[in-house]
Amino acid sequence: MDLDKSMIGIASEPYSAVVEQEHVAQFAQAIGDDNPVYVNEAYAKTTAYKGTTVPPTFLVALGSNAKFPLKLDFKRMLHGEQEFIYHHPVRIGDKLDCTMTVTDVYDRVGKSGTMQFLVLDTNMTTADGALVAVSRNTIIYRQAQKEAK
């Protein structure tokens, strides 16, 4: 499958993710970030966050539950870029309703030929619909390999 602009707007089934203390602590340990704002509520209340929050890149761990309707060839995919746009701090115990959507498709010519780019935004909202954060993932989709004869 090649990518084209008609894919913009295609979305995953909505799914929910609960931000659990143990998961946040494990994530922080895995990335080597021992900031107490992620695990120590008493300390975190004295900060600008006014409570425990998650490491900035934690949202990537919440995107793996998406059931996405596009059938992409994983062998052609490279991770291009990841961006996190926060509107509110994400808190331990938050239940986030998530939907992943194709927001852009474009081509760029590089040394090895034309590459396609797929931009996926995962919007994360509260139960009342308030946007908490967007996890934006840009995937580089390489050209299909020609079969040898």
Query: DSSP labels for the chain?
Result: ----GGGTT-BPPPEEEE--HHHHHHHHHHTT---GGGT-HHHHTTSTTSS----TTGGGGGGGG---S----GGGEEEEEEEEEESS---TT-EEEEEEEEEEEEEEEETTEEEEEEEEEEEEE-TT--EEEEEEEEEEEPPPPPPP-
Q: What pLDDT sits at residue 147?
A: 62
Global confidence as pTM: 0.85
The tens place of each residue's pLDDT in the chain, 149 residues long, gives: 589 899 999 999 999 999 999 999 999 999 999 999 999 999 999 999 999 999 999 998 886 677 888 888 888 888 999 999 999 999 889 999 999 999 999 998 878 778 899 999 999 999 889 999 999 999 998 877 766 55
**Domain-by-domain residue ranges, the chain?**
5-19+58-141
**Which architecture characterizes domain 5-19+58-141 according to CATH?**
Roll (3.10)
